[in-house]
Chain A
């Protein structure tokens, strides 16, 4: 029996002496606030204090705590509470998965150094990874620079503290944190090979082993064993039949009884490795085997935009540049590996797991399991980061199958390696082409060809292939365009959605060539971009005539910073700039959101908010929009959902669509409810509302009318008054040449990077990033700058360190993401060019923010050294080689 003091209270437990302290805390003592991100000391999510010093609980043997003191996020210590409040005031928690570790590491520091400097904070928190925030607000919270009182209420434009923040600073309830009594533990058997046939041994015998509750293979799947985010391309088996098409693919499930240690060591399976196509070049080579019988040449799809005559225009251009650039697989590396539970609630299969797309999960899971969708209920857990990968189902059909077949509750928690090997990645890209301009520097034409490695299955490959040609011009007027992007299958990891759907890769190509073109034209690189910035009334490459274009205001907002930076002549110093634009919502496809708002008879304002908040802030932003449109204070709103049984479909958290699309639906729903209220009292639109208890008061020009809500009969949803509204962005299909209106609204931005290059080592030190983003209307400025800082951090990773190599970088010490010391000061400039289509003019932002960072970094490296990088990540040896080539 091990005895120690936990958060001031004596505890005992009978854990194995070498059990990890995380196991002791979570499984033995039931404290789920300490999170597990890697089980290897690589992420720091499990940071706790042992005898006052921060440690990774995943590497502390239970016995080591004997007689000692352990403090966790559940502590009620007053100084921890002060730090929690500072995190909330500064917006330092986004998804919340790293927050307990950050807070405990922060406590370790603040008890040693009460008023730390930025570098002391970095040293102390260097062992905790965050994938959402870009760390700047965490540093600010720990140094607490004394923001005014926290803001709890307010409509649009107010930096309201996030409504779901309180849970996050106390250790929120993620997919792994809910364990129904008696739940089976489901473990996947996965392919160790990129391509291999396999044969099972005696599964019936294995299933009889003590502790094993069941074994499940593709043969057990009652419905269609193929899922996919785009129904027409659904091709990925939940459990593969032979052959396995990528390393990490699930081929069987074993359910272990509660209390049994899962162990797959002797699972009866024989593998026969087969020749694997690891690159698109191999997959497209003559005579290459076909990975999917219905996809000749291993081509999933090609997207194409043709406008004017690019070849002719290039031939007639005063200046032409051509170039090629390559990117690798990039891993989302959210700190929460996939996790969830499933159970039968009478006839309804209920799944509580991390997700970005509850209704898509429901529909895909129902198809796989042969159930009608109404018999599947998805309750998203708190989501510890998604960035696109949690759009596709992962464990939902797996735990759903086991719960359905056994009738027992079950749970599944991916290991870090399992999460990295089996889920989607950013598409590796090989891009080349030419851009031309006239003698004055005006862009004349662009020709682009991109090949994207879409991996073993379709996932979002079609979206990437379609989005890239539409966006590859950047936000610049380009009269002649030929752009093609093809997605090619390989036996690599499945490439899917990752913040920007291929546009960040394309921007690397376009924006780095723009610097070369500006040089040829003899123009300042910023002025060249301003000259070519697309404006209201201009047509895009798809022929769409734009309104509310915000790129020129973003670029001009950077002008004083640009001039200042260029005037500071320091050897080794470089300044780079790049822009972004990004269409919000699905490309030429419907993507409606529906929001419901109700007034209960007891006087509660209930917002049925089905937009999954994966840390980006939709719980808060959508509520702010609804409060503003309804005319009641935000703190009177109660949030419900997301939950496919309780909330109407607000679509997926993807394509930078929630603030825009669900925001418009929320605004419409709140306005409809307000209209009902005003109609009931014959009040005009200028009337003001107030709610006290169950009495709604409507005041207009000094006249007061009251509605006792209890007196109204309940409507079909059980409310005294309620309204549903749906909004679907107006778009049109693209024709064979990619002409049409793919998006109803675009957001814009530009970022400027200042850095230093160490010419002897090829290393880069980022000094400062200034980011101007046109958000149309900053519904919540603090959440908006949080998105900018987090996107920039991921852009830094793309540019300088991140490269997923199957079999090589399947953990968080070989796969590097930026730490707290890798993100420089970020100054955000929020530009507001309201779009008539957006709610209160608001535009999407979530993906835009990542796009300019990497090209701006490459441009700054080139400015500093003259070296041109043609491959990212720009690791030190690649930068040094580029410097050598330039000498």
Chain B
């Protein structure tokens, strides 16, 4: 007998998952395209739990897993989150942005998830709630492969936490697709740059859709430290990215093209972040 539950508290939700792991439904924008007339199996709908929705400030920023892209795009947030807000405006169309959630984007774990590079550049950590309580996992560890995460079947991703240390600087996101809207990225890049006294003192760079999981680029980041902002874009070399990326040939582009485009997108994201 299939069951549909839409609890109003996280405790209830965790309790239900402890009984039997269920299919989690949030915005539905990744789930519905894969199903028939309705979703089969037992369902846990997270969208009625107030604690999972919205952006709150504490030690850093906490973005509830069911916060929609529109809420993120329209919130007043520090410049370090510009990239995330730009990505929020480019996920699907406005309809998807109104329903789709940040938590769903991460759990769906598409290599081309638009939310991931900006969050990687923000040193994002996710919070998972399970029968044994809460645990925090860096986003870099949560995503383990295309459509694969570290989330256990009885766990719920409850929030994305952005540490205070990562809320500095300014960020930008650049997405490349073959049309203007409703497009799966060929490649995308996010850059968060801190500048002090005319020199770059911190850089967080990430590229998506060019590897099974979007990647931070430590070698390229190191190359920017100490540079003048105006010189920074040209310091990105395909060579520095090569080790981190493993693009594939698919219907949208060739692997070779993705390597070239990733470097260029990164240059543009950096240029925009330091502008």
| Interface residue? B62 (CB, 8 A) | no
Cβ-based interface call for A373 (8 A):
no
Tell me the minimal C-beta distance from B234 to chain A in angstroms.
12
Q: Which residues 258-275 of B sit at the A interface, judged by CB distance below 8 A? A: 260-261, 264-265
Q: Nearest-CB distance from A693 to chain B (Å)?
A: 50
Stretch of B92-100, B139-147, B192-200, B219-227 on the interface side: B92-100
Indicate if the CB atoms of A61 and B180 lie closer than 8 Å.
Answer: no
Contact B33 A44, beta carbon cutoff 8 Å: no
Q: Are B38 and A19 in contact (CB under 8 A)?
A: yes
A700 within 8 A of B: no
- Shortest CB-to-CB span from A19 to chain B, Å, is 5
When distances are taken between beta carbons in the complex, the residues of chain A under 8 Å from B43 are: 17-18
Contact A816 B183 (CB under 8 A): yes
Residues of chain A with a CB closer than 8 A to B93's CB: 44, 126-128
Cα A18 to Cα B23 with chains together (Å):
12
Q: Which of A42, A58, A128, A876 contacts B186 (CB 8 A)?
A: A876
Bound CA–CA A31/B113 (angstroms): 35
> Interface size of B by Cβ–Cβ distance < 8 Å?
43
A626 at interface, CB cutoff 8 A: no
B257 near A876 with CB under 8 A, answer yes
In the complex, are the beta carbons of A18 and B39 less than 8 A apart? yes
Which B1-50 residues sit within 8 Å CB-CB of chain A?
Answer: 4, 6, 25, 27-29, 31-33, 37-39, 43, 45, 47
For residue A55, give the distance in angstroms from its CB to the closest CB of chain B.
5
Given contacts A59-B99, A809-B251, A819-B180, contact A41 B32 (CB under 8 A): yes
Which residues 830-887 of A have a CB within 8 angstroms of B?
873, 875-877, 880-881
> At the interface, is chain B mostly helix, strand, loop or mixed?
loop
Q: For residue B182, which residues in chain A have a CB less than 8 angstroms away from its CB?
A: 42, 126-127, 129, 813, 819
The answer to whether A821 and B179 touch across the interface, beta carbons within 8 angstroms, is: yes
CB distance from A52 to the nearest CB of B (A): 10
Cβ of A330 to closest chain B Cβ, rounded Å: 14
Which chain A residues in 61-110 approach chain B with CB under 8 Å? 61, 63-64, 105, 108
Contact across chains for A17 and B32 when beta carbons are under 8 A apart: no
Q: Does A16 contact B (CB under 8 A)?
A: yes
Cα A19 to Cα B37 in complex, Å, equals 6
Q: Does B25 lie within 8 Å of A61, measured CB to CB?
A: yes
If the complex has contacts A16-B38, A63-B6, A763-B176, are A126 and B99 also in contact, measured as CB distance less than 8 A? no
Within 8 A of A (CB), among B80-134: 89, 92-96, 98-99
A805 — which chain B residues lie within 8 A by C-beta?
A: 251
Q: Are A876 and B253 in contact (CB under 8 A)?
A: yes
Using known A-B contacts A20-B32, A808-B251, A876-B253, determine if residue A44 contacts B4 with beta carbons closer than 8 Å: no
One digit per residue, 1 when the CB lies within 8 angstroms of any chain A CB and 0 when it does not, for chain B 64-91 equals 0000001000000000000000000100
Are A123 and B94 within 8 A (Cβ)?
yes
Are the C-beta atoms of A53 and B251 separated by less than 8 Å? no
Q: Name A's interface SS.
A: loop
Known: A813-B182, A880-B260. A41 touches B176 (CB 8 A): no
Are the C-beta atoms of B25 and A108 separated by less than 8 Å? no
- B residues 135-184 touching A (CB-CB < 8 Å): 176, 178-184
Closest to A759 in B: B264
For B264, the chain A residues whose CB sits under 8 A away are 760-761
Contact among B31, B92, B178 for A816, CB-based, below 8 A? B178
How far apart are the CA atoms of A818 and B254 in the complex, in Å? 21
Would B95 and A877 count as touching, CB distance under 8 A? no
**A-B pairs with CB below 8 Å: how many?**
149
Which B residues touch A128, using CB under 8 A?
93
List chain A residues, Cβ under 8 A from B239. none
Name the CB-closest residue of B to A49.
B98
Asked if A536 is at the interface (CB within 8 A of a chain B CB), the reply is: no
Q: Is A424 an interface residue (CB 8 A)?
A: no
A758 (CB) vs chain B CBs: closest residue: B264
Task: State whether B251 touches A814 (Cβ < 8 A).
Answer: yes
A735-780 residues at the B interface, CB under 8 angstroms: 760-763
Is the CB–CB distance between B95 and A820 below 8 Å?
A: no
Nearest residue in A to B177 (C-beta to C-beta)? A816
List the B residue with the shortest CB-CB distance to A762: B257
The answer to whether A821 touches B181, judged by C-beta atoms less than 8 angstroms apart, is yes
B99 & A39 in contact (Cβ 8 Å cutoff): no
A63 vs B31: C-alpha distance in the bound complex, in angstroms?
15
Residue in chain A with minimal CB distance to B32: A59
| Other-chain residue from B33, B98, B176, B251 in contact with A55 (beta carbon distance below 8 A) | B98
B89 A123 Cβ-Cβ under 8 A: yes
Min CB–CB distance A3 → chain B (angstroms): 14
Neighbour of B95 across the interface among A56, A814, A821, A876, CB < 8 A: A56
Binary contact readout A15-46 vs B (1 if CB under 8 angstroms, 0 otherwise): 01111100100000000000000011110100
Q: Would you give the 0/1 interface string for A111-140, flagging 1 where the beta carbon is closer than 8 Å to chain B? A: 000000000001111111100000000000
Residue from B32, B45, B47, B176 whose CB has the most chain A CB atoms within 10 Å: B32
For residue A803, which residues in chain B have a CB less than 8 angstroms away from its CB? 251
A605 is an interface residue with CB less than 8 A from chain B: no
Residues in chain B near residue A58, CB distance under 8 A: 32
User: Taking the complex as formed, is A672 at the interface, i.e. its CB lies under 8 A from any CB of chain B?
Assistant: no
> Which B residues touch A821, using CB under 8 A?
179-181
**Cβ contact within 8 Å between A877 and B37:** no
B241-258 Cβ-contact flags toward A at 8 Å (1 or 0) = 000000000011110110
B residues near A364, Cβ cutoff 8 Å: none
**With A20-B38, A54-B94 as given contacts, are A875 and B253 in contact (CB-CB < 8 Å)?**
yes
Q: How far is the CA of A39 from the CA of B36 in the complex (A)?
A: 9
Tell me if A800 counts as interface (CB < 8 A to partner B). Answer: yes
Q: Cβ of A127 and Cβ of B181 under 8 Å apart? A: yes
Q: A56-B99, A63-B4, A126-B182 are in contact. List 9 more A-B contacts (CB 8 A).
A: A41-B32, A56-B96, A61-B45, A63-B45, A809-B251, A813-B182, A816-B178, A821-B181, A873-B178
A-B contact pairs, 26 of them (CB 8 A): A17-B6, A18-B39, A53-B70, A55-B95, A56-B29, A58-B32, A59-B33, A60-B28, A61-B45, A63-B4, A64-B45, A126-B94, A126-B182, A127-B93, A127-B94, A127-B181, A761-B176, A803-B251, A809-B251, A816-B178, A816-B183, A875-B252, A876-B176, A876-B253, A876-B257, A880-B260
Instruction: List residues of A whose CB falls within 8 A of some B CB.
Output: 16-20, 23, 39-42, 44, 47, 50, 53-56, 58-61, 63-64, 105, 108, 122-129, 261, 760-763, 800-801, 803, 805, 808-809, 811, 813-814, 816-822, 873, 875-877, 880-881
